[in-house]
Structure 1
């Protein structure tokens, strides 16, 4: 749904303003309430291709220009002199290219992500299912990503994040909202005519939560954990959710 050149300008400006701290996650997007929403933004996949193909083509353009690749033929009679060659996007932000993350929903997409030299961002949903628990399927996705990265010969180490819904039951509010007995499990459903597996939520007393999270193979394989929070419950409660994890769970698991 984005113009890759305009997006590259915005990303470069935002990263410069932030002092090189931008971590930008992008993806093809997920099915929402709007059918073929990309059409409302003026984009239609070429005949014989899909919206996923179009998203990857936009991404390849985006990655090329944020690296400084020239793409525009300069005016031969400019008001001000141009440097030689094709003109790049401005502004340029050094190092931003290494801080782009792709939200991958399958193992094959994770391999493509590695080939493109992007960091891997894997959520609580995979749009495929092999019958194994979600965390094991996601761990395999991460393994394939790292292997594809090594095979591609990129000079730096990639980053990998996974998302989880985790709630430590430390007061009556937590138990009222999420006290379901700690017996959550994966769910399997159909998205875009494909079988998909949704990862479980974690909600339990801190000591039990720690033991459950120790068994999560994907968390162990990743270097970054993103906590998904129920934003409809307000800022104050979500701050409490995060603080509870940092205080009662993270130290025991060695999270920093």
Structure 2
């Protein structure tokens, strides 16, 4: 998930990134307008329909990506053919931080998604020339490490109720701050949630229904909800 950076520089209306809705969250938001303009020239916009693959596991890591709209899921196939979802990327998140020459996960669009795509070599050169961007990437990498540790606790120690409650909090955490009675979208399927949490689809559906029945959350649509009782949701997530 994206982390918020320091206040971003103001842009003129003719700047190619003026209308970017996630510039405050994106790694490139720390660049000065003139540098950002040059940076954007090296990164064409790529569009993916729901279900399309952005990168496959073991693909050469020739590009890096900044997600400006939509939702991606990161997954890996296990030796026995099962799928494990490692996480979801939201607008403002960055794809491609790796010291390896290959992508460790498959990244697929859950919903129609838009990304700025940058050749890795050019991106690395920009990072080397711009310390602010390097610091921002360091913060993103540290956040990803913390998220990976959180995932280990989620899968290794928590009950089904705690896992689903934690996941709803993760989704709600995309709002800053978390506000009760605010619509929160979750376009991923129950199967995606199950593969992320290490549960059965039926278990995920049952736990979501239980949260609704207890008036902890309110389902406002097929793929949206509101937090009705934040304190209770946090208690359930912590056990």
TM-score range, shorter chain: under 0.3
Higher share in strand: 2
Higher share in helix: 1
Q: Which has the higher contact order (CA 8 A, sep 6+)?
A: 2
Computing the radius of gyration from Cα coordinates, the structure with the larger value is 1
